[in-house]
């Protein structure tokens, strides 16, 4: 079997598979064909890929020869007709944003595997691209905040006086939020945390953060460990408490998301205006609307002396390790798809494959995609 690695377009710096992971694929009996310069922005040259046992080729040849094509983002700028019926495309998909493209791919008879739909189950943990990329985002968000803040993170007692530690407020203690707590604590800041899921309380505490509880949060087991939309009463109480804690903070890292919906607005305009000048807000939920009312996706703005960074693509800023983690996740997924003779089998009885397959055989497969796109 031949797997093709496509070069990303736009501002994306990552690549789906690095040379070290080519070696792992070769051991599974898979041949790897890499588009020329695919790894350039992740600091891996074509020579590195050749040394690892891959071949390199122009995009057209990669598409023509490969049974399966891997990329970070869906190759939406390509004409769907350049792919063969029955060919498998595997990338992060974001089905609601790329609905039109997905519909064309379905009608063309392509099989599309959406890595952002891999079920969040124990068996699929080693394939969980959302978790690995959120780890990068949480880490980078804290580093960016620390470098923008006009103050130290840790406490200092020196001959030049005592410097108080900075206070960091984390909104949402999912994978990115927990990583942000760990890094902010390592840098010596005092960390306070809000979340609507009571399950994270102990994790926050064990990382050295203070969990601020707002009574009356709505939780739903059917949401599979994810947060759900809250009542108006809860939202008002939470916004009031967040306002109080933001005013006392130097940094806010906002990561709160509700899958398939717009991100909850937790930091109001008035809150930003009452924060200390020089404070920093990093809004990792920017691409889904932002947790801060003033966030502009993809932009750094300053309001009343407060830096608001609307950024959801930190993994692209750390392309070496982010690509490494991405590639390892894909290899773990391929391990359940490829048999001992290196033959690719899409077993729709397997909950991971079924949940990850957006379209196959001209049909929508994943229940979550159907729900997101309102398909009966
Ligand atoms: P996410 O990106 O969907 O959301 C980030 C956080 O924001 C979540 O903790 C959520 O509760 C919180 N949030 C949402 N609305 C909020 C609000 N109004 N106020 C405050 N906080 C709010 O989450 P994620 O990082 O993708 O992970 C969510 C959960 O999925 C995990 O904590 C875990 O339970 C589960 N998970 C399981 C696996 C696995 O078993 N393979 C892997 C990763 C995550």
Under DSSP, is residue 274 helix (H, G, I), strand (E, B) or coil? helix
101-117, pLDDT tens digit by residue? 999 999 999 999 999 99
| CA-closest candidate to residue 139, choices 293, 343, 318, 337 | 318
Q: Are strands 88-91 and 68-70 parallel, antiparallel or unpaired?
A: parallel
Catalytic hit among 55, 78, 226, 320: 226
Q: What per-residue confidence (pLDDT) applies to 376?
A: 83
Tell me, yes or no, if 226 is annotated catalytic: yes
* CA angle centred on 126, ends 29 and 208, rounded to 5°: 150
Q: What per-residue confidence (pLDDT) applies to 258?
A: 85
Nearest alpha carbon, ligand 1 atom 2? 257
Nearest alpha carbon, ligand 1 atom 39? 120
Element (H, E) at 52: none
Q: What per-residue confidence (pLDDT) applies to 215?
A: 87
* CA angle centred on 301, ends 300 and 303, rounded to 5°: 150
Token pair listed for 203: 């994790």
* CA angle centred on 183, ends 212 and 15, rounded to 5°: 120
| Alpha helix (H) residue ranges in the chain | 19-27, 46-51, 59-65, 99-107, 129-148, 175-186, 201-206, 232-247, 269-274, 314-317, 319-335, 351-356, 367-373
Q: What per-residue confidence (pLDDT) applies to 359?
A: 97
Tell me, yes or no, if 128 is annotated catalytic: yes
The confidence band for 275, taking pLDDT boundaries of 50, 70 and 90, is very high
Q: How far is CA 290 from CA 170, 267, 297, 309, 348, in A?
A: 14, 9, 8, 10, 36
Q: What is the dihedral of CA 155, 277, 136, 163, to 10 degrees?
A: -10
Q: Which residues of 197-224 are buried (b: 16+ CB within 10 A; e: fewer)?
A: beebeebbeebebebbebeebeeeeeee
Catalytic hit among 71, 111, 131, 238: 131
Q: Is the CB of 234 under 6 A from ligand 1?
A: no
Q: Is the CB of 134 under 6 A from ligand 1?
A: yes
Nearest alpha carbon, ligand 1 atom 32? 174
Q: What per-residue confidence (pLDDT) applies to 272?
A: 97
Q: Is the CB of 318 under 6 A from ligand 1?
A: no
| CA-closest candidate to residue 76, choices 115, 106, 102 | 102
Report pTM: 0.94
Least confident of 87-101, 172-186, 222-236: 222-236
Q: How far, in Å, is the centroid of ligand 1 from the Cα of 199?
A: 10
Contact call for residues 241 and 214 (beta carbons, < 8 A): yes
Under DSSP, is residue 133 helix (H, G, I), strand (E, B) or coil? helix
Distance CA 63, CA 11 (A): 22
The owner of tokens 């519909």 is 103
86-97, pLDDT tens digit by residue? 999 999 998 988
Q: How far, in Å, is the centroid of ligand 1 from the Cα of 219?
A: 12
Phi and psi at residue 39, to the nearest 5°? -100, 0
Catalytic hit among 45, 82, 125, 244: 125
Q: Is the CB of 231 under 6 A from ligand 1?
A: no
The owner of tokens 């990115």 is 176
For a ligand 1 pocket test, name from 115, 117, 226, 255 the mutation site with the most ligand atoms within 8 angstroms of its C-beta.
Answer: 226
Nearest alpha carbon, ligand 1 atom 3? 257
Distance CA 103, CA 105 (A): 5
Q: Is the CB of 306 under 6 A from ligand 1?
A: no
Catalytic hit among 31, 46, 128, 283: 128
Q: Is the CB of 235 under 6 A from ligand 1?
A: no
Tell me, yes or no, if 131 is annotated catalytic: yes
Tell me, yes or no, if 125 is annotated catalytic: yes
Q: What per-residue confidence (pLDDT) applies to 193?
A: 97
336-354, pLDDT tens digit by residue? 999 999 999 999 999 999 9
Contact call for residues 320 and 289 (beta carbons, < 8 A): no
* CA angle centred on 68, ends 63 and 73, rounded to 5°: 80
pLDDT over 80 (residue 220): no
């Amino acid at each position: 079997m031949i797997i093709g690695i496509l070069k990303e377009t736009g501002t994306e710096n990552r690549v789906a598979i690095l040379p070290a992971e080519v070696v792992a694929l070769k051991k599974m009996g898979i041949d790897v064909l890499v588009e020329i310069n695919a790894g350039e922005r992740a600091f891996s040259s074509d020579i590195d890929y050749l040394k690892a046992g891959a071949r390199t080729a122009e995009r057209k040849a990669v598409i023509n020869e490969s049974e399966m094509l891997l990329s970070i983002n869906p190759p939406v700028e390509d004409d769907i007709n350049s792919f063969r019926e029955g060919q498998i495309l595997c990338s992060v998909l974001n089905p609601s944003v790329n609905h039109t493209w997905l519909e064309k791919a379905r009608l063309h008879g392509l099989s599309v595997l959406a890595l952002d739909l891999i079920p969040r189950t124990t068996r699929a943990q080693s394939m969980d691209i959302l978790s690995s990329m959120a780890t990068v985002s949480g880490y980078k968000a804290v580093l960016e905040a620390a470098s923008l803040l006009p103050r130290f993170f840790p406490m200092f007692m020196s001959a030049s006086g005592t410097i108080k530690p900075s206070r960091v407020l984390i909104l949402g203690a999912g994978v990115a939020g927990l990583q942000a707590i760990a890094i902010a604590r390592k840098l010596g800041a005092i960390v306070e945390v809000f979340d609507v899921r009571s399950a994270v309380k102990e994790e926050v505490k064990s990382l050295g953060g203070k969990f601020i509880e707002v009574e009356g949060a709505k939780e739903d087991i059917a949401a599979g460990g994810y947060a759900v939309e809250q009542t108006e009463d809860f939202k008002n109480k939470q916004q009031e408490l967040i306002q109080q804690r933001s005013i006392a903070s130097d940094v806010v890292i906002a990561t709160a998301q509700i899958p398939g919906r717009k991100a909850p607005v937790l930091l109001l305009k008035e809150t930003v205006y009452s924060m200390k000048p020089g404070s920093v807000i990093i809004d990792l939920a920017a691409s889904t609307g932002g947790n801060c009312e003033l966030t502009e996706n993809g932009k750094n703005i300053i309001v009343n002396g407060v830096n608001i960074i609307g950024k959801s693509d930190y993994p692209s800023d750390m392309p070496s390790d982010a690509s490494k983690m991405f590639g390892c996740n894909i290899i773990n997924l391929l391990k359940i798809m490829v048999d001992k003779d290196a033959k690719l089998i899409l077993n729709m009885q397997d909950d991971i494959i079924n949940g990850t397959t957006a379209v196959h055989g001209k049909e929508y497969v994943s229940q979550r995609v159907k729900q997101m796109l309102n398909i009966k």
